[in-house]
Amino acid sequence: MGDRTPVIAGIGLSDCPKAPALDAVQHHALALQRTLDDCGLAKREIDGYVSAGGGGGMMIDDAVTMAEYLGIDHRWVDGTMTGGSSFEFHVQHAAAAIRQGYCDTVLITYGSDQLSRMGRTLGTGGFARTGQRVPGPIQFEVPYGNSLVGAYAMVARRHMHEFGTTSEQLAEIAVGVREHARLNPDAMYRGPLTADDVVNSRLIADPLHKLDCCVISDGGGAVILTTAERARDLRQPPVYVLGAAGAQTHWNISQCPDFTSSAAVASGAEAFAQAGVTPDDIDTVQFYDSFTITALVLLEGLGFCKQGEGGPFAAEGHLRRGGRLPLNTDGGGLSSCHPGMRGIFLLIEAARQLRGQGGEAQVPDCALALACGSGGWLSCIGTVILGKEEP
């Protein structure tokens, strides 16, 4: 059967941070074309397809609809939807399918026109618009006026109460991510940023300020996984999937068992065990940074520092450019792009770094990268460990 080790062979981005000429499905299509150009595969070789949907105003980009639109003749398909972490779960599933021979080459796509669509058909913050019917368990939260940022504000406030974490420490995460965004010509915000700028920006939901919150953008991405054997004949060096795992602690924030922790504890432990490496071996991390507190909770849960020590860790500069664990080297959701679900961008940037294609933001001697996506309200966490060398 040859070498069926799963690898990332192609990556591509659509236009961002704003592309008013494109709707969600066109972002999928543009990202696919650029990914095919990146790796040199023909579309007819793709026999597996995955999409989470969620980027279109009327949910017209689910997996089966997008497979039809893109012309993918698949023999394996997956439509797993866990919010922003969907794409890390997709890598877990696609890697297993490739190993088992269910398919040989899997395409993952995502596209969203969230910024261009704001105010027309889109609600805000993941909650219903005024007067809209609210189905499911979230109906018991909405009447109390909570919002998406409010949920994360509760996480931040509890972390501050338990461990003495400060707004200034959270601000250092935004500052470090902005350092990388300044090197990315496609980032939404590229101006200089200080911790004082963050803590003095408008308070959105106490204790989170405007600059603790991610941007809202358009954008899309695509990733192609295939076998190591097939990748040897393609244009780009393969990026090996060494470990991939997912876990869930809750979905709705009212059911969160511990505001200071997350399912990263479980998914990270499994991914590290599969890869046979430890947090000390990782050269760069690409975390879901919907808010500064999101990145901090993931940092601790994955074992890069002890619980409660994430604030001092960030304040010491470890996550910044030139630090021992550079974070979100494309500028992250806090400064570059966040079109609704950002997990695919984490995978693309991790692969770019391992290829040595990070440009001015390249992490020296990058051999191992970790991508960790968060879906829901720190609910479903997917962790993927990628490597430059074959396991």
Distance CA 92, CA 275 (A): 13
CB-based contact 103:14 (threshold 8 Å):
no
Q: Classify residue 122 by its DSSP letter.
A: B
Q: State yes or no: pLDDT of 56 exceeds 70.
A: no
- Using pLDDT thresholds of 50, 70 and 90, give the confidence band for residue 118: confident
What is the spatial distance between Cα 176 and Cα 335, in angstroms, rounded to a whole number? 10
pLDDT confidence tier of residue 123, bands split at 50, 70 and 90: very low
- Strand 76-78: give its sheet, edge to edge: 76-78, 48-51, 106-112, 219-227, 6-13, 239-248, 380-387, 368-375, 284-287
Residue 82 buriedness (CB in 10 A; 0-12 / 13-18 / 19+)? buried
The predicted structure's pLDDT at residue 124: 42
Confidence of residue 183 (pLDDT cuts 50, 70, 90): very high
Cα distance between residue 184 and residue 178, in whole Å: 10
- pLDDT tens for residues 90-115? 999 999 999 999 999 999 999 999 99
> Which DSSP helix (H) or strand (E) runs through 248?
strand 239-248
Residue 21 pLDDT exceeds 70: yes
For 276-304, the pLDDT digits (tens) are 999 999 999 999 999 999 999 999 999 99
| Predicted local confidence at residue 53, as pLDDT | 84
Q: Kindly list the distances between the CA atom of residue 42 and the CA atoms of 59, 74, 96, 99, 165, in Å, as whole numbers in the listed order.
A: 28, 14, 22, 21, 50
Asked whether 253 and 144 are in contact (CB, 8 A), the reply is no
Q: 98: left (phi > 0), else alpha (psi -120 to 50), else beta?
A: alpha
pLDDT at position 222 is 98
Q: Quickly state the pLDDT bin for 220 (edges 50, 70, 90).
A: very high
Confidence label for 371 from pLDDT (cuts 50, 70 and 90): very high
**What's the confidence (pLDDT) of residue 141?**
81
Is pLDDT of 126 > 70?
no
What CA–CA distance (Å, rounded) separates 334 from 292? 8
pTM for this one?
Answer: 0.96
Structure confidence at residue 57 (pLDDT) = 53
Q: Tell me whether strands 219-227 and 6-13 are parallel, antiparallel or unpaired.
A: antiparallel
Percentage of the residues of the chain whose pLDDT score is greater than 90: 88
User: Could you read off the pLDDT of 63-79 as tens digits, one per residue?
Assistant: 999 999 999 999 999 99
Give the residue from 314, 280, 73 showing the smallest Cα distance to 177.
314
Residue 386: CB partners within 8 Å, gap ≥ 6? 8, 239, 240, 241, 242, 347, 350, 351, 354, 368, 369, 370, 371
Among left, alpha and beta (phi > 0; psi -120 to 50; other), residue 198 is: alpha
Count CB atoms within 10 A of the CB of residue 348: 24
Question: Which DSSP symbol is given to 202?
Answer: P
Helix/strand/coil for 221: strand
Mean pLDDT of 171-199: 98
* Predicted local distance difference test score (pLDDT) of residue 146: 82
**Could you give the CA distance from residue 313 to residue 310 in angstroms, rounded to a whole number?**
5
Predicted local distance difference test score (pLDDT) of residue 132: 67
| Paired tokens of 47 | 């026999």
Please say if the pLDDT value at position 1 is more than 60: no
Q: Which residues contact 281 (CB under 8 A, 6 or more apart)?
A: 368
